[in-house]
Chains A and B, each alone.
Chain A
């Protein structure tokens, strides 16, 4: 029994890395612009299809796909912010504008259903060594693909954390999120910085996609299921908090993994939503929410 629980926890923790990555992207945009991006999951899906087709057409290993997808998704995110979100932010006075939420919802509908039209709704998988390879550690089995996704998450969290706390652009992104007027007075062009923030948050989806494609199915609707979990994680870990997103992701993965031993994964989902609502109600700043009053 204990072994089962530990095995479940292990698998859950490893998949939790992916959740953490998606939440990280979501949180970067929320933390800076107070914008809830409903298209975050769909952008993950775009990254997955890019990685998939790169593999099918050129044989590029998905783990190398970020070389292409990260710059491409960064450019896409930058452009989305520039053309779709900035005009709305310029118009709205509210701190958390609903119009941007509706805009990204529209975008998600378009992208997801466009993918459905172009690529059909069958489940596409990529066969590489990491798809089925496992490591046996004593009594426990570790999926190689999941392990590398976990490493990718740790690496990305560390890189993003260093970027946000040590570089000028990273600090500027946080500064604009905390006080736009002062940031302007100190010479920061807030609009351009928003573009970068959105671009980076989208680019992170390229890494998540690369980690996911070898062992997960690629499907137009794959983003939506991850998105809802990512929202739970963001609220759990704290709005705008990068470590919070990572730890929240692990926590959610852990809960899923352990509960999955006894019952269907869907039960874990119900539990997560219940936790989500309870968190919103009792601790809206999140467990680790720092950058928020």
Chain B
């Protein structure tokens, strides 16, 4: 499934988001190639979440978002983007709290074209997250943070996306859970052929997992490059941490 469009799956051009008078994102451009894991890093309030929300259409933006080929996403309502292959797991998991794990997962394949494959998809995600099978009939809000994150990712995968966005997937998780989720993201990418764009505050978690990274500072793009380049870049610590390297 190599794209004829130079291998780019997502291309963001000069994306700008305003909340009232406040410029949350200013002329950010980036691209994600088929099969990559790309991360967006930055401190709180740097515009990481806003970027993802703009890509999935939850917030209005100026500029261009192109997906798969040259198709522009501007003007496509959020609920039509999953059928194009674009899934998005929001910050803090956001499960349907008063539904069971199974119901949450089934809703991931709500779109009619996905329903015929639903049993198979369910088998796949439960193979990926074995604990979910045990929790099937538990209400989502009673799960632990790590389990909730697993359900959230599994629910997104039920939609069989080509491109998965994860907003702070490691937030509030224990170190062991962070490793586990990282491993799952790698598996999804390597074996499932899903391209991943995620954001994260921590450099450690981000660059260890991703092929390339972008660093945002106050809504602007400050640095970008492969993970190796970024790690070697002396500006990383200064820009990102606001501190000289200890």
6 tightest A-B CB contacts, nearest first: A187-B82, A291-B98, A184-B78, A187-B111, A178-B96, A184-B79
Confirm or deny: A290 has a beta carbon within 8 angstroms of a beta carbon on chain B: yes
A179–B159 CA distance with the chains assembled, in angstroms: 17
Q: Which residues of chain B are near A165, meaning CB under 8 Å? A: 103
A279 close to chain B: CB less than 8 A: no
A189 contacts chain B at the CB level, 8 A cutoff:
yes
Query: B108 an interface residue at 8 Å Cβ cutoff?
Result: yes
Q: Assess whether B96 is in contact with A172, with CB atoms less than 8 Å apart.
A: no
* Interface pair A182/B99, CB less than 8 Å apart: no
Q: Does B115 contact A (CB under 8 A)?
A: yes
* Residue B106 at the chain A interface, CB threshold 8 Å: yes
Contact of B94 among A179, A187, A189, A190 (CB under 8 A): A179
Task: Show the binding face of B for A, using Cβ within 8 Å.
Answer: 56, 58, 77-83, 87-88, 90, 94-99, 103, 106-108, 110-111, 115, 155, 159
Q: For the complex, is A185 an interface residue (Cβ under 8 Å from B)?
A: yes
CB neighbours of A190 from chain B (8 A): 79
Q: Determine whether A139 belongs to the interface, using a CB cutoff of 8 Å to chain B.
A: no
Name 5 A/B residue pairs within 8 A (Cβ), A-sorted: A168-B115, A171-B107, A182-B90, A185-B82, A186-B111
Additional 15 contacts, C-beta under 8 A, given A172-B107, A178-B96, A181-B94: A168-B110, A171-B103, A172-B110, A174-B98, A178-B97, A182-B94, A185-B58, A185-B79, A186-B79, A186-B108, A186-B159, A188-B110, A189-B77, A290-B98, A292-B98
Decide if B79 touches A188 in the complex (CB within 8 Å): yes
Verify if A288 is at the interface (C-beta below 8 Å from B): no
Chain A: residues with Cβ within 8 Å of the partner, total of 22
Q: Are B78 and A171 in contact (CB under 8 A)?
A: no
A243-293 CB contacts (< 8 Å) to partner B: 290-293
Q: Are B58 and A184 in contact (CB under 8 A)?
A: yes
A186 touches B99 (CB 8 A): no
B41 to chain A, nearest CB (A): 23
> Do residues A181 and B83 form an inter-chain contact, with CB atoms below 8 A?
no
Contact of A185 among B88, B97, B98, B115 (CB under 8 A): B88
Q: Mark A157-192, 1 if CB is under 8 A from B, else 0.
A: 000000001001001101100110111111111100
Residues of B within 8 A of A174 (CB): 96, 98-99
Complex: A179 Cα to B88 Cα, angstroms: 14
Shortest Cβ distance from B104 into chain A, in angstroms?
9
Kindly report which residue of chain B lies nearest to residue A185, judged by CB atoms.
B88
Closest residue to B89 on the A side, CB-wise? A185
Q: A115 to chain B: closest CB distance in Å?
A: 38
Docked pose: A181 CA to B81 CA in angstroms: 13
Cα(A290)–Cα(B90), bound, Å: 24
List the A side residues contacting B97 at CB < 8 Å.
178, 293
Q: In angstroms, how far is the closest chain B Cβ from the Cβ of A30?
A: 14
Among A185, A189, A290, max chain B CB count under 10 A is at A185
A171-B103, A182-B90 known; A187-B96 Cβ under 8 A: no
Residues from chain A with Cβ under 8 Å of B80 in the complex: 187
**CB <8 Å contact, A181 and B99:** no
Chain A proximity of B89: nearest CB distance (Å): 8
> Are A186 and B90 in contact, with the CB atoms below 8 A?
no
Nearest CB of chain B from residue A139's CB, rounded to whole Å: 44
Q: Name the contact of A186 in the complex, choosing from B77, B82, B115 (C-beta under 8 A).
A: B82
In the complex, chain A residues whose CB is within 8 Å of the CB of B111: 186-187
- Select the residue from B80, B107, B108 with max chain A CB neighbours within 10 A: B107
Query: Given the complex, which residues of A lie within 8 Å of B88, measured CB to CB?
Result: 185
B90, B97, B110: most-surrounded residue (chain A CB, <10 A) = B110
Asked whether A175 and B82 contact (CB < 8 A) given A186-B108, A186-B159, A188-B110, the answer is no
Please state if A186 and B155 are interface contacts (CB–CB under 8 Å). Answer: yes
Give the shortest distance, in Å, between B91 (CB) and chain A (any CB). Answer: 11
Question: In the complex, what's the smallest C-beta–C-beta distance from B169 to chain A, in angstroms?
Answer: 15
Assembled-state Cα–Cα distance A237/B109 (Å): 32
Minimum CB–CB distance for B208 against chain A, Å? 27
In the bound complex, residues from chain B placing their C-beta under 8 Å from that of A184 are 58, 77-79
Tell me, rounded to whole Å, the shortest Cβ–Cβ distance linking A173 to chain B: 11
Q: Which partner residue on chain A sits nearest B83 by CB separation?
A: A187
Say which residue of A168, A172, A175, A185 sits within 8 Å of B56 (CB atoms): A185
